[in-house]
Amino acid sequence: MSAKQNRVLIFGAGVIGSAYAIKFIEAGIDVTLFARSDRFKTLKENGLQYYEKGAVKSIKVNVIDTLEHDDVYDFIFVTVRYDQSESALLALKDNQSKNIVTMTNNSIGFSSWLDIIGDRLLPAFPGAGGQIKEGILYARFPPKILIATKFGEISGEVTERVENLVQLFKTAKLPCTIHKDMKSYLITHSVSDIALLSVLHVGNKIIDEKTVRTRKTAHQITLTLKTYLRAIQKAGVAIHPSVFKMVLIFPNWVLDLFFMIWLRTKMVKDMLLPDYANSAKKEIVQLNNDLLKFLNQNDIDLEIHA
């Protein structure tokens, strides 16, 4: 399948959707971006604005806010937060496109998603991040050695559509890897996000920057991450990527030191901004609630020991 034959819909115009839209458009791929409300209006009026090499740029994008059932695409990328994923898939339920790529966390498995869209589901996880400030995208595409877009069939098979997706990403010069156990990868990643991001809130308040940088906060991440990783192992989930297996081996003080360094990065400082923190909280709460359901189904209780 050549790039010219691909017609792509990106369902969700946040950071992830916007970042991939730019890369696909620059590669000459036929891209449509689905957005709503103010984001739809901004994209219509100003194009997709983004920051690159010290300047704000704009790229023209085809943007829609309604989707007809017979508006068919080769791939639909769902790039919304986990807590919005089910409503997004319900919106796509009757669309006739055959391949729906969910680029989001998942802490419980794919049963509910399969109930909505069936075998059109192709789970994935993005290799990008960043922020949108005042309508302008500040994207981050880390080196492939750190993170690349991952996707794969639930069965682990390398099918024709997976190979076509690889070619699409190669055309856009986006690093990607085929993963044969996306369920384990996504659950492991959800555990890491729960451990790392849940420290941003105490009750209903965003934690202050001074408190974030303390040994106590770092230690809480260490304990939570180890506890959750052991729990999913007991539930029969393979830990992926394998680097997380090292977390269970390292002594707590080593991990505390690592997380104290991480908590001082600009990335974490940006995470404390109200818009990011509040949206992240909604996702983390849903991920954690669903993970606890998954563990409960496997008769596993969580106990975090100091």
Instruction: Please tell me whether residues 188 and 176 are part of one structural domain.
Output: no
Instruction: Please tell me whether residues 232 and 109 are part of one structural domain.
Output: no
* pLDDT at residue 283 greater than cutoff 60: yes
Q: Which residues of 28-40 are buried (b: 16+ CB within 10 A; e: fewer)?
A: ebbbbbbbeeebb
At 117, which amino acid appears?
Answer: I
Helices (H) and strands (E) in the chain, counts: 12, 14
Q: What is the DSSP string of 215-260?
A: HHHHHHHHHHHHHHHHHHHHTTPPPSSTHHHHHTTS-HHHHHHHHH
Please report which confidence band the pLDDT of residue 267 belongs to, taking 50, 70 and 90 as the band edges: confident
Instruction: Please tell me whether residues 96 and 241 are part of one structural domain.
Output: no
Please report which confidence band the pLDDT of residue 3 belongs to, taking 50, 70 and 90 as the band edges: very low
The token duo for 207 is 């934690």
In this structure, the number of other CB atoms found within 10 A of the CB of residue 161 comes to 18
Instruction: Please tell me whether residues 169 and 228 are part of one structural domain.
Output: no
**CB 128, CB 16: distance < 8 Å:** yes
Mapped onto helix, strand or coil, the DSSP state of residue 80 is coil
Q: Which of 132, 153, 180 is the last residue of a domain?
A: 180
CA distance to 83, 102, 187, per residue, from 295 (Å): 19, 23, 11
Instruction: Please tell me whether residues 100 and 193 are part of one structural domain.
Output: no
Predicted local distance difference test score (pLDDT) of residue 199 = 81
ω into 175 cis (within 30 of 0): no
Q: Please give the model's pTM, rounded to 2 decimal places.
A: 0.92
Residue-number span of the structural domain to which 130 is assigned: 3-180
* pLDDT at residue 268 greater than cutoff 60: yes
Q: What is the mean pLDDT of residues 29-56?
A: 94
Beta bridge partners of 101: 77, 122
* pLDDT at residue 303 greater than cutoff 80: no
Instruction: Please tell me whether residues 136 and 202 are part of one structural domain.
Output: no
How far, in Å, CA of 37 to CA of 13, rounded?
11
- Give the total number of structural domains in the chain: 2
Instruction: Please tell me whether residues 112 and 62 are part of one structural domain.
Output: yes
Percent of the chain clearing pLDDT 90 (strictly above):
76
Helix, strand and coil in the chain, % to nearest 5:
50, 20, 35
Instruction: Please tell me whether residues 104 and 121 are part of one structural domain.
Output: yes
The answer to whether position 88 is within a domain reads yes
The answer to whether position 305 is within a domain reads no
Query: What is the per-residue pLDDT across 95-107, written as a single tens digit (0 to 9) for each?
Result: 999 999 999 999 9
Please report which confidence band the pLDDT of residue 8 belongs to, taking 50, 70 and 90 as the band edges: very high
Instruction: Give the range among 24-38, 184-198, 272-286 with minimum mean pLDDT.
Output: 272-286
Instruction: Please tell me whether residues 91 and 9 are part of one structural domain.
Output: yes
The answer to whether position 303 is within a domain reads no
The answer to whether position 259 is within a domain reads yes
Instruction: Please tell me whether residues 165 and 85 are part of one structural domain.
Output: yes
* pLDDT at residue 92 greater than cutoff 70: yes
The answer to whether position 15 is within a domain reads yes
CATH code where residue 152 lies:
3.40.50.720
Specify the pairing of strand 201-202 against strand 205-206. Answer: antiparallel
Q: Which of 128, 147, 180 is the last residue of a domain?
A: 180
Instruction: Please tell me whether residues 70 and 171 are part of one structural domain.
Output: yes
Please report which confidence band the pLDDT of residue 1 belongs to, taking 50, 70 and 90 as the band edges: very low
Report the mean per-residue pLDDT for the chain. 91
Instruction: Please tell me whether residues 149 and 24 are part of one structural domain.
Output: yes
Q: Which of 162, 180, 198 is the last residue of a domain?
A: 180
Q: What is the mean pLDDT of residues 73-92?
A: 97
The answer to whether position 304 is within a domain reads no
Predicted local distance difference test score (pLDDT) of residue 276 = 73
